[in-house]
Amino acid sequence: MKARASVLFLRVWDALLCGVALSGLAFILVSGVAQTPALPSDLFFRHYWAHHIVRLGFFWAALALFILIVKILFWLLYRPAPPAAGLEAPTLTVIIPAYNEGAMVRKSIDSVAAADYPAGRLKIVVVDDGSKDDTWEYVSAAAKERPDLIVPVRFPRNSGKRAALAEGFSRADSEVVVTVDSDSAVDKDALLAIVGPMRDPKIGAVAGKVAVYNIHEGTIPRLLHVSYLLSFDFMRAIESVYGTVYCCPGALTALRMEAVRKVLPRWLGQKFLGLPCAIGEDRAMTNMILAAGYDAVYQKSAVVRTVVPTTYSKLCRMFIRWNRSYVREEFVYMSAVVWRRPLGPLAVSLAERLVANGRYPVQYLGLPLFLFWAEQKADVLRWLLASISLISLAYVLYCLSQESALDRKKNESFAFGLFYPFYAAFALFWIFPYALVTARKGSWMTR
């Protein structure tokens, strides 16, 4: 009875959100387009710095528009590789690092064990990284049921995710390793799909498609579903066309063991501003494999579903951790990795990263200009909301193009696609600057 009431409450709440979103969007667009405020001329005379910010903004916007057109063309060109078939599939070790994961680790193990893969060519290594809860009970129980398939490892104390993965790498005697997070479950055809691109010896890393496991546990998981479609699906498909996926996620990634062995010592010993790196191990591994001369691609047909935060505080902690590792690894990529890429990927990467990273100074330097402008023009906020609404429509169109009618009905992507740009603009605006000034910290925060 309680479960039914909870489901009913969520449906009513979601319906209310849909209604507010649609009516609010209509009002904002009509009122914003009806009167677009002109930039007050006296602002330039009183504050000369406004000239430079506006010019920077126009330059970035023009370049961003050109890059967006190129990205759309690349997205149209993207095709996932065919999955591996039968004995063509390479020998495979799946590594699942776990810490205080509880019952979810069993679901993760079972999903990998149940996935389609040729008998005798698959091994699963599960590393309990010194958990303080009942994680080891679930790991050992799964290993007892499938002793010929699962290799359980238990650390006496917490040593970090890199150490757990390194233990898995040391026990792998296969051509390919796949990492799966312990809070994630793979689809039945995910393993054969993720190793498909490995037919090409130039490919060292393959990123899987990350979806939301607990999508019906509230508003934030649904918002993240939209975010993942844009950042993980759309962007990685584009990056895959020029063989430079910047981050192959720990939730589901295939790595060529030959490439891993080349970079493993440097990856384990990585430091940033004098401190050992404890986060961002997936982006670091991707960077090092790209620097070693391999390509990194995206395999849309290899799907993993991961548990995401359900509260604002946990969401912020996750994004802060991601942004801290982004700051570190983006510096590494732009200073060392990109220059080792072939000419074509190098040129595309430089232009794309210039636009992607250029949005931060444009956003945060433009904030004082916006406040000065808003002081003189009361309708500026309405115009800003209308601009965000146009972005919302783009989000919705992409979500609708990527989901079946049944999925759209279940996930209500239309409403949440409208909401996410507003949520990101106002509720998550502070995260990147905070992560930038605290980038040296390596706390996991969500464990």
- pLDDT tens readout for residues 347-396: 999 999 988 888 888 777 767 666 666 666 656 566 666 666 666 666 66
Domain final residue, candidates 289, 309, 341: 341
Sorted by sequence, the CB contacts under 8 Å of residue 300 that are 6+ apart come out as 78, 80, 209, 233, 237
Helix 281-291 crosses helix 312-332 at what angle (to 10 degrees)? 20
Residue pair 92/174 in contact (Cβ under 8 Å)? The answer is yes
User: Same structural domain for residues 44 and 111?
Assistant: no
Nearest of 423, 45, 77, 13 to residue 243 by alpha carbon: 77
Residue 17 has which token pair? 């959100």
Residue 447 lies in a domain: no
Instruction: Count CB neighbours of 356 within 10 A.
Output: 15
Print the domain residue range for 46. Answer: 2-77+348-437
Q: How far is Cα 250 from Cα 153, in angstroms, rounded to an integer?
A: 19
Domain final residue, candidates 313, 341, 369: 341
Q: In this predicted structure, what is the pLDDT of residue 55? A: 65
User: Same structural domain for residues 424 and 301?
Assistant: no
Residue 98: give its domain's CATH number: 3.90.550.10
User: Same structural domain for residues 49 and 157?
Assistant: no
**Chain centroid offset of residue 395 CA:** 16
User: Same structural domain for residues 239 and 337?
Assistant: yes
Q: In this predicted structure, what is the pLDDT of residue 48? A: 56
Residue 118 lies in a domain: yes
Residue 443 lies in a domain: no
Residue 388 lies in a domain: yes
User: Same structural domain for residues 353 and 424?
Assistant: yes
Q: Is the pLDDT of residue 444 over 80?
A: no
Q: Is the pLDDT of residue 169 over 90?
A: yes
Report which listed range, 146-160, 216-230, 376-390, is most confident: 146-160
Cα–Cα distance list, 132 to 154, 163, 314 (Å)? 12, 17, 20
Residue 446 lies in a domain: no
- The pLDDT mean for the chain works out to 84
Question: How do strand 122-128 and strand 184-186 relate by DSSP bridges?
Answer: unpaired
User: Same structural domain for residues 323 and 380?
Assistant: no
Q: How far is Cα 105 from Cα 216, in angstroms, rounded to an integer?
A: 20
Q: In this predicted structure, what is the pLDDT of residue 188? A: 96
Q: In this predicted structure, what is the pLDDT of residue 275? A: 87
Residue 442 lies in a domain: no
Q: Total domain count for the chain?
A: 2
Residue 200 has which token pair? 């090409």
Helix/strand/coil for 211: strand
- pLDDT tens readout for residues 403-427: 665 465 555 656 677 788 888 888 9
User: Same structural domain for residues 241 and 223?
Assistant: yes
User: Same structural domain for residues 361 and 322?
Assistant: no
Q: Which residue has the tokens 């005798």?
A: 120
Q: Is 243 exposed, middle or buried (0-12, 13-18, 19+ CB in 10 A)?
A: buried
User: Same structural domain for residues 240 and 319?
Assistant: yes
Where do the DSSP E strands lie in 87-165? Answer: 92-98, 122-128, 150-154
Q: In this predicted structure, what is the pLDDT of residue 6? A: 54
User: Same structural domain for residues 307 and 368?
Assistant: no
Residue 444 lies in a domain: no
Residue 426 lies in a domain: yes
Q: Is the pLDDT of residue 311 over 70?
A: yes
Q: Is the pLDDT of residue 194 over 70?
A: yes
User: Same structural domain for residues 352 and 333?
Assistant: no
Band (pLDDT 50/70/90 cuts) for residue 290 is very high
Q: In this predicted structure, what is the pLDDT of residue 30? A: 46
User: Same structural domain for residues 327 and 353?
Assistant: no
Question: What is the value of pTM for the model shown?
Answer: 0.85
Q: Is the dihedral of CA 187, 244, 222, 315 positive or negative?
A: positive
Domain final residue, candidates 341, 358, 380: 341
- pLDDT tens readout for residues 251-281: 999 999 999 999 999 999 999 888 898 889 9
3-state helix, strand, coil in the chain (%, to 5): 60, 15, 25
Q: Is the pLDDT of residue 35 over 50?
A: no
Q: Is the pLDDT of residue 204 over 70?
A: yes
Q: In this predicted structure, what is the pLDDT of residue 359? A: 82
